[in-house]
Structure 1
Amino acid sequence: MRLNKMSNKETAIAKKKETIKELLIRKQTDIKQLLPTHINIDRFIKSALLAVARNDKLQKCTKESVFTGVVNAAELGLDFTPAKGHAYLIPYGDQATFMPGYRGLIDLAKRSGTIAKIEAHIVHENDKFILEYGLEPKLIHKPIIKGDTGEIIGAYAIAWFKGEDPQYEFMTKKQLDGIRKRAKTDTIWKSDEGEMCRKTPVRRLFKYLPCSPDLEKALEYDNHIAGVIDAPEDNGLSRTENLANLIITNPTPTDVDAKTGEVIESPDTSKETEPMTNPKTSGMINSICSKEYALDPEQTLKLISAIIKHDITKMKQLTLKEVEWVTETLNHRETIDGFLAEINSQKQ
């Protein structure tokens, strides 16, 4: 008899436990207020519930974390419809986390009105692929439609601006794998490798594009789950502020050979101009170093010193040509890894 009473009590407690579906329906009015007018609340809730139903690991996550992820997506006007690929709920232990898909990021970018179109593609080893940098950059990709495509060797993204030339970003397979290894969870990489290969250069391309507040927020969500921005902030300042005192001079007594990286002494040092601060440039360099390489400001200055082959940790001065050299070098992961290894060896 006692066992029956305990069983009845457990049943009563179980009945009181609110399911994810019940929670979302109860909070439907609040969620609707966050959604843009073009998104139907019923379809949005249905897409979220379908995402949970299709993933056993999500069903084991706390309903509070699922709700938070749904709210994050609603704020950005992105739903979880699989065919759209705009948003995902990613399980991480017992916590569900919202992650925007690359098509969701593209949708947010196009809403700004300055970007006409963005495309992302995967390059296979048997494709015809030509990539050239310089004064006349070129990107030609003719994929294999039939037959063996071969292994993935990289991926790229292109953005077309209204009234301006397009801009593109290419990443090798090794660079893509590096991002994957730093991710907090590789669940989405296992289930949707193609999606993530396309998304990664799209995300990197956004460093050079105008970003709306919604897009910046989406990238922030994405960076956290991708493990891109895990380093703590310094002195309470944002990453783009930490190198705001980096000085840009033009010209200065030294120059840098773009091919060899060697420092070239200028024959005339009498025409040096007064140094001027350039927070935009220093912010861009620091942003790349923190996001792509998880470096703090001190480490960034050491890396820049290694790249331009003279110490700037005290004077914090760069010529405009050195800025160009640094920003170009930062795009080559293997080269930077070599510099970082050299810096770390000097500590030992």
Structure 2
Amino acid sequence: MSKNQLTTVKEKTLNNVQNRIAQLQQGGFKLPQNYSAENALQSAWLILQDVQTRDKKPALEACSQNTIAMSLFKMVQLGLNPAKNQCYFIPYGNDLVCMPSYFGEVMIAKRVGLQDVKANLIMEGDDFNYKIEADGRKIITEHKQSFSNLGKKIIGAYCVITLPDGAQDADIMTIEEIKQSWNQGATKGSSPAHKNFEGEMAKKTVTNRAVKVFINSSDDAKLFEGLLNETPAEVHVNNQIQENANKNEIGFDNEDYEEAEHEEIDQEAENERLYAEAMAEEAGSTNSKGPGF
């Protein structure tokens, strides 16, 4: 794709997304405060130019223009910025999928009212205790972890959320529960992402479960419904159903475009990026439910 063709595709795609957002705003849709959709879209487009499929084809050429627009729309709808590692773009077949990262999920949870979200791993040898309050909330009463325990076997993970009123609640999962969750995916938890970044994936899993109930019970539940937990394969299937049923359903222009041819990040952010790449590689080799989180 030449420079001129890329510019043409960019203008049409970004205009479609911006026009769709403008239509929704007229109907009462509100973007998060201090969130610039234009800046996020520009950052996303720069990143997309380097995204490749499993067989090293540019995603902007290999993926359908409709799903590229849909992935950008989802990014803006959730108020995420890829330049801050809040989401990643993963090619899956001829679909492009926007997947919120751990940071993105925490950001979304805070925007719907949570004051804070923190996840930690429980290692073999840790002193860990909790209590259950009368209202059913779980409170971590003790977690002592010596330096020598770092790198030992992971036996569980927990996520503490601070509610709008300042009260805290914790979701706790054993490693068996976490792996059972992973087992729902096509790779049964044996993907490069799960093998190489077990700790990060475990924290992502327990965080996702902890914030899900709060998000789904918030006033903005409909906004986030189904968006946080979709795997690349599920998005792919939904896209195919949608396109076969009604290609204009979401309001994007489906014209064929084929002729139109950082700052330093911390180690946790780097881990997010690396296992996002692993998930992208995995997505190219799976064809059922996806990796599972």
Give TM-score scaled by structure 2 length: 0.58
Q: Distance in 1 between matches of 2:58 and 2:86?
A: 21
Of all paired residues, the percent bearing the same amino acid is: 22
- Aligned equivalent of 2:264: none
Match of 2:226 among 216, 220, 231: 220
The size of the alignment, in residue pairs, is 213
Matching of residue 158 in structure 1 with residue 163 in structure 2: no
Opposite residue 204 of structure 1, the aligned amino acid is: R
Matching of residue 46 in structure 1 with residue 48 in structure 2: no
- Aligned equivalent of 2:69: 67
Opposite residue 70 of structure 2, the aligned amino acid is: T
Opposite residue 106 of structure 1, the aligned amino acid is: V
User: 8 Å contact 1:152–1:173 — kept in the other structure?
Assistant: yes
For residue 81 of structure 2, give the secondary structure of its aligned residue in structure 1.
Answer: coil
Opposite residue 230 of structure 2, the aligned amino acid is: H
| Mapping for residues 164-183 of structure 1, pairs under 5 Å | 164-183=166-185
User: 8 Å contact 2:92–2:232 — kept in the other structure?
Assistant: no
Matching of residue 24 in structure 1 with residue 30 in structure 2: no
Q: Distance in 2 between matches of 1:200 and 1:100?
A: 13
- Aligned equivalent of 2:106: 106
User: 8 Å contact 2:13–2:69 — kept in the other structure?
Assistant: no
User: 8 Å contact 1:98–1:221 — kept in the other structure?
Assistant: no
Opposite residue 109 of structure 2, the aligned amino acid is: A
Query: Offset of 1:150 from its aligned partner?
Result: 0.5
Query: Offset of 1:107 from its aligned partner?
Result: 1.4
Q: Distance in 2 between matches of 1:173 and 1:24?
A: 44
Structure number with greater Rg is 1
For residue 41 of structure 2, give the secondary structure of its aligned residue in structure 1.
Answer: helix
Q: Distance in 1 between matches of 2:155 and 2:11?
A: 45
| Mapping for residues 116-131 of structure 1, pairs under 5 Å | 116-131=115-130
Q: Distance in 2 between matches of 1:76 and 1:99?
A: 11
Opposite residue 95 of structure 1, the aligned amino acid is: D
Opposite residue 24 of structure 1, the aligned amino acid is: K
User: 8 Å contact 1:183–1:228 — kept in the other structure?
Assistant: no
For residue 171 of structure 2, give the secondary structure of its aligned residue in structure 1.
Answer: strand
* 1:312-346 deviation per Cα after TM superposition (whole angstroms, max 9, x unaligned): xxxxxxxxxxxxxxxxxxxxxxxxxxxxxxxxxxx
For residue 221 of structure 1, give the secondary structure of its aligned residue in structure 2.
Answer: coil
User: 8 Å contact 1:156–1:170 — kept in the other structure?
Assistant: yes
Matching of residue 196 in structure 1 with residue 201 in structure 2: yes
User: 8 Å contact 1:203–1:219 — kept in the other structure?
Assistant: no
User: 8 Å contact 1:90–1:97 — kept in the other structure?
Assistant: yes
- Return closer, same or farther for 1:43/1:99 CA change in 2, 3 Å cut-off: closer
For residue 222 of structure 1, give the secondary structure of its aligned residue in structure 2.
Answer: coil
* 1:74-122 deviation per Cα after TM superposition (whole angstroms, max 9, x unaligned): 11111212xx332122232332212212322221222233x21111222
For residue 231 of structure 2, give the secondary structure of its aligned residue in structure 1.
Answer: helix
Opposite residue 89 of structure 2, the aligned amino acid is: L
- Aligned equivalent of 1:93: 93
User: 8 Å contact 1:48–1:80 — kept in the other structure?
Assistant: no
- Return closer, same or farther for 1:202/1:148 CA change in 2, 3 Å cut-off: closer
Opposite residue 43 of structure 2, the aligned amino acid is: K
Q: Distance in 1 between matches of 2:104 and 2:53?
A: 24
Query: Offset of 1:182 from its aligned partner?
Result: 1.6
- Return closer, same or farther for 1:191/1:26 CA change in 2, 3 Å cut-off: farther
Unaligned regions of 5+ residues in structure 1, if any?
1-13, 230-348
User: 8 Å contact 1:51–1:80 — kept in the other structure?
Assistant: no
User: 8 Å contact 2:121–2:154 — kept in the other structure?
Assistant: yes
Q: Distance in 2 between matches of 1:191 and 1:48?
A: 28
Q: Distance in 2 between matches of 1:117 and 1:49?
A: 31
| Mapping for residues 244-283 of structure 1, pairs under 5 Å | none
- Return closer, same or farther for 1:208/1:63 CA change in 2, 3 Å cut-off: closer
Query: Offset of 1:31 from its aligned partner?
Result: 3.4
Q: Distance in 2 between matches of 1:49 and 1:148?
A: 37
Unaligned regions of 5+ residues in structure 2, if any?
22-30, 236-293
Opposite residue 103 of structure 1, the aligned amino acid is: F
Q: Distance in 1 between matches of 2:51 and 2:176?
A: 31
User: 8 Å contact 1:48–1:79 — kept in the other structure?
Assistant: no
Larger relative CO (CA 8 A, sep 6+): 1 or 2?
Answer: 2
Q: Distance in 2 between matches of 1:191 and 1:52?
A: 26
Query: Offset of 1:180 from its aligned partner?
Result: 1.7
Q: Distance in 1 between matches of 2:145 and 2:45?
A: 35
